[in-house]
Amino acid sequence: MRITLIHNPGAGRPGAKDAQKLRKFLAHHGHGVRYQSAKEDGWKKALKKPADLVVIAGGDGTVGKVARRMVGRGIPLSVLPSGTANNIARTLGLVERPFEEIVRGWESPRRVKLDVGLASGPWGELHFIEGVGAGLFASVLTTPASKNLKKSQNPVEGGMARLKRAAARAEPLELNARLDGVDISGAYLLMEAVNLRYVGPNLHLAHDSEPGDGQFDVVLVTEAERDRLRYYLEHWQDNRERLAMLPTRRGRRLEIEWTGFPLHIDDKLRPKPSLKPKEMAGLVEARIDGEAVEFLLPA
């Protein structure tokens, strides 16, 4: 196959940093490889060139930005998981598989669609893969310490620790919101519309979620669920797939009246510091309306 390889050389998995080894590895399996570093400006241009498969060697940030660019292109994707959290690859069942097994699987693959959501607001429109949310998770992302978290020795553990500390003192956020036209307004410690089973530092919030099912799961945590959330954050290491067991609703369209409180769309934060006041308020809509990308997985 003609493969476009988008590679993040700074990703965390041992053995995944060596670009030359990755290229030789894929060529050894009979594939023609066009290599492009995700750290260089040319990665967007590389995606426009003819290919039978786009392979992403990196973590969620790299997979997400490539997947968002490939919506509607009709070219399948695959992932060689090389990041820290690897929420997308973990949802697709690729994290525990050796690269050799993943590549062999392209010969007779299982094809899985992953929904790509669209979040619109005063800033315009943004595609999302993982989810959209307000409250605890978004607030932690705004702290200066979170910017250096990926550089730490144990970023997943560090992220969970920050969330655990924040969950003890977070104030509920009054949100006016509707899900598929139904009023779900309330005071929430956390509201997350998640498109994957895992988000953030491997938070396992939506265990019934299936890739490409045309809906997201909206996790709603009020003061009444604070202790349950804290228990989950304290004991997640006992079992990474420990169920959060938090109130969840399913839907396709979430509307939130935004007044400028911290909001995340995947790893993008709003409001930006440069936004004017009139750009920090208005209706925010997150929806799933049929856009998707296809991944090749081992059978």
Give residue 297's identity as a one-letter amino acid code: L
For residue 220, give both structure tokens.
């709603």
Q: Give the helix/strand (H/E) hosting 249.
A: strand 248-251
For residue 230, give both structure tokens.
């804290």
In this structure, the dihedral spanned by the alpha carbons of residues 147, 152, 157 and 158, taken in order and rounded to 10 degrees, is -40
Enumerate domains of the chain plus CATH numbers: 2-108 (3.40.50.10330), 117-290 (2.60.200.40)
- SS3 of 288, please? coil
For residue 169, give both structure tokens.
């003192």
Of all residues in the chain, the percent with pLDDT exceeding 70 is 91
For residue 34, give both structure tokens.
């066009």
- SS3 of 34, please? strand
CA distance 119 to 138: 15
Mean pLDDT of 207-213: 87
For residue 219, give both structure tokens.
């996790």
Q: For position 147, what pLDDT does the model report?
A: 62
Rounded to a whole number of angstroms, the distance between the first and last alpha carbons of the chain is 18
Q: For position 278, what pLDDT does the model report?
A: 63
CA distance 163 to 173: 16
Q: Are 282 and 109 in contact (CB under 8 A)?
A: no
CA distance 143 to 173: 17
Q: For residue 12, name the pLDDT band (cuts at 50, 70, 90).
A: low
Indicate the range of 12-21, 37-46, 105-114, 164-173 predicted with least confidence.
12-21
Mean pLDDT of 137-146: 84
Q: For residue 14, name the pLDDT band (cuts at 50, 70, 90).
A: very low
Q: Are 191 and 219 in contact (CB under 8 A)?
A: yes
Other beta carbons less than 10 A from residue 131's beta carbon: 27
For residue 210, give both structure tokens.
């299936």
Of all residues in the chain, the percent with pLDDT exceeding 90 is 72
Whether residue 237 is predicted with pLDDT greater than 80 in this model: the reply is no
Whether residue 241 is predicted with pLDDT greater than 80 in this model: the reply is no
Mean pLDDT in the chain?
A: 90
Q: DSSP character for 44?
A: H
Tens of pLDDT, residues 59-95: 999 999 999 999 999 999 999 999 888 999 999 999 9
Give residue 233's identity as a one-letter amino acid code: L
- SS3 of 36, please? strand
DSSP strands (E only) in 41-147: 53-58, 77-81, 110-115, 117-121, 124-128, 131-135
CA distance 111 to 168: 42
Rounded to 5 degrees, φ, ψ at 39 are: -85, -10
